[in-house]
A = this chain, B = another copy of it.
Amino acid sequence: MSDQMQQIVLASRPTGAPSQENFRLESAAIPSPAEGEILVKVSHMSLDPYMRGRMDDAKSYAAPVPIGGKMEGGSVGVVLSSNAPGFAEGDHVFGPFGWATHSTANAKMCRKLDPAQAPVTTSLGVLGMPGFTGWLGLKEYGRPKAGETLAVAAATGPVGSMVGQLAKAQGLRTVGIAGGAEKCALAKDSFGFDACIDHRAYDNVKDLRKAMKDAAPDGIDVYFENVGGPVLDAALSLMNPHGRIPVCGMIAWYNAGGLGADAAGQGLTAPKIWRTILVNFLSVNGFIISNHWDRFPEFVAEVAPMIADGRVKYQEDITEGLENAPQAFMDLLTGGNHGKAIVKVG
């Protein structure tokens, strides 16, 4: 083993969509684990939409990545050396190792994985943060009831596909929204959506809304909000009284350049939003999954058997090589991925 590692740092903050120049691949010495830490050789790292937010300097629930700092994120790998009780060389672990070939981390932030139980990459997606986000948001804030209709965008992504499959299993009509005919076919054939709307087939909210209305003839009771933009605009207008909107992300707006920008939802004015919330008695709840880790064991206990027996399916989109992470991340933000975006690092 060389004593050099590679990592990708934030070279500059993007305005709008990130580009290659915002990232820089660097070499660094492999660190030693301090007291309570482990050193890990990363095998796979996760790419998630929230990382776009960390590249900005705006107020958010987490501090931004500093200029020159390693891009953050969850990864899986194998312990090279441990300075923490309970972890030993050779253990498979999930942790906040970021965009890097090697990393130390506080062992308390890491979780041991059993590769015999499930492929370790599932801890980045269907059995990790994205799947947990879908499960928690649906259960806690979506409050689904059999016979209702649920809509979710990015329907083939790791959050949307979890939400759709769990809702379907609970007897709801499920309407997915995805970009392109191929993803729509995947949503229906693999993830069991009753209908899937290809938002790329529509160049205005009115037509998108009509397609969604046709797919949800009884209106929408739960709109799981993970994209924002025109889909939100259309979905909001189709909400039934007493509808619920869990809000966990707004990828359509992440590249819009900060709080004031309105890249997509020009028709969605403040009075329209608030009036819709009021006259339909909507319940809108923002949440971030990191406030809910105490319920992670409950999630695993409920969903792992559903994965094992095929009730919950998942798909991964694996890019080879740390150096290709920036391009894969940019693709993710524009919907170029097919399934949970993962980079195979080593």
Interface of A toward B, CB cutoff 8 Å: 59-61, 225, 228, 232-233, 241, 247-250, 253, 256, 259-265, 267-275, 277-288, 291
Contact = CB atoms under 8 A, between A and B. Distances in A.
B247 A259 contact: no
Contacts of A278: 247-250, 286, 288
Contacts of A277: 247, 284-286
Contact of A285 (B59, B261, B262, B284): B284
Nearest to A261: B271
Contact of A281 (B241, B256, B265, B287): B287
Contacts of A281: 61, 285-288, 291
A204 B233 CA distance: 27
Contacts of A256: 271
Nearest to A252: B271
B284 A271 contact: no
Nearest to A256: B271
Contacts of A249: 278
B273 A228 contact: no
A260 B272 contact: yes
A171 B288 CA distance: 29
Nearest to A61: B279
